[in-house]
Structure 1
């Protein structure tokens, strides 16, 4: 008896099974990438300074990076604070600005107070203006993207320890930079589809450069 060839029906069934497996694999991979997109994007920005996000890569905090360039000009770092319309907090910087040399560390503080009669969890986001400074603006310690739970009526001081990388002084694109604005915005925390707390950023847009907020109704 000669070899048996599959019938057209069997051939189409096998092809459909293969197509289904490929489609399922692509769907699962895409779904996984979607779930990971936000934390991966945040990590990428924190490591590179992309989108005006100050660098938080600990590999850049070596002692060789923390040597002030005494021959460089001082940079005035201004501090801005905003809160979402949905968050009944008072949030203010304790100093208007500080001046630093490239490679010099600085310590600043913000104050947050829960004005409501309920315990509330808030999460702060941040950015730097002008955005081209972000790759050189490194934060050693800060309260950004961390859950801050304030009890009803509680007031806390939030420290910020940062420096402007010494390579700032050698970049010709930074020669016109004398002032930098570091802007924080506190949002009420919400749980995403994966059950993790994240800032509810649908209610506010912030103009960090001017220090003013425009409250708007976002679309989900």
Structure 2
């Protein structure tokens, strides 16, 4: 009889143990899925804060210090195969370090319909990303162009004077800012979204 009670307790303990393992696995799986969805914006935020992987910095004010030393800045423009645009880079410049300067990219829609694109960017060498400060840019902003339409896309930036103090960047003489445009769906107005939601409920 004691053995029966012991066996019952053993079976119950095993069921509890299995349930605990299952619950733990479920939490782990949901956690991994959540991390996967969160990783992209978190990674982008991390890059923007640290300059990791050549990500430039976004600032709200101009530099207050200008050094008597120049750096060559070249520009690159790329288009995804899914976007029928002509995208041209700005001409190379050679500003003083700390000097705020504006350049312009240009884009032309070569298709017969309105299309929307979004640009991502990076800086090489990657170590310079943390010191390349953009006051104004068109990155991560949807650009919708009508058929045949051309637009100028300004970029206002400066190279942080701190770049000459860091061991890994003090000898950098040339920096390249590269943009790549990818097709995207234009965002719908809030009123249109609400109308669609109301229609779906009917």
Q: TM-score range by the shorter chain?
A: 0.7 to 0.9
- Residues 96-138 of structure 1 show CA distances to partners (whole Å, capped at 9, x for unaligned) of 1222222221111111111101221111111112222111111
* Structure 2 equivalent of residue 194 of structure 1: none
Question: Corresponding residue for 1:83?
Answer: 79
Name which one, 1 or 2, has greater alpha-carbon Rg.
2
Q: Distance in 1 between matches of 2:76 and 2:167?
A: 27
Q: 1:16 to 1:149 in 2, by over 3 A?
A: same
Matched, 1:116 2:111: yes
Secondary structure (helix, strand or coil) at the match of 2:44 reads helix
For the 8 Å contact 1:136–1:165, the answer to whether it is kept is yes
Q: Which runs of 5+ in 2 are unaligned?
A: 187-202
Cα separation, 2, equivalents of 1:188 and 1:62: 31
The match for 2:67 among 70, 74, 93 is 70
Identify if the C-alpha distance between structure 1 residues 143 and 62 changes in structure 2 by more than 3 Å, giving closer, same or farther: closer
Please report how far the alpha carbon of residue 174 of structure 1 lies from its aligned counterpart in structure 2 after TM superposition.
3.0
Mapped pair 1:42 → 2:37: no
Match of residue 194 from structure 2: none
Q: How many Å apart are 1:62 and its aligned residue?
A: 5.2
Determine which of 162, 180, 184 is the counterpart of 1:185. Answer: 180
Task: Name the CA distance, whole Å, in 1 between partners of 2:10 and 2:166.
Answer: 68
The normalised TM-score by structure 2 is 0.81
SS at match of 1:11: helix
Q: Does 1:138 align with 2:133?
A: yes
Q: Which consecutive segments of 4 or more residues in structure 1 shift more than 4 A? A: none
Aligned length: 182
2:21 equivalent in structure 1: 19
Q: Which runs of 5+ in 1 are unaligned?
A: 192-220
Gap change, CA 1:62 and 1:107, over 3 Å in 2? closer
1:54 aligns with 2:61: no
SS in 2 for 1:91: strand
Residue correspondence of structure 1 range 198-213 to structure 2 within 5 A: none
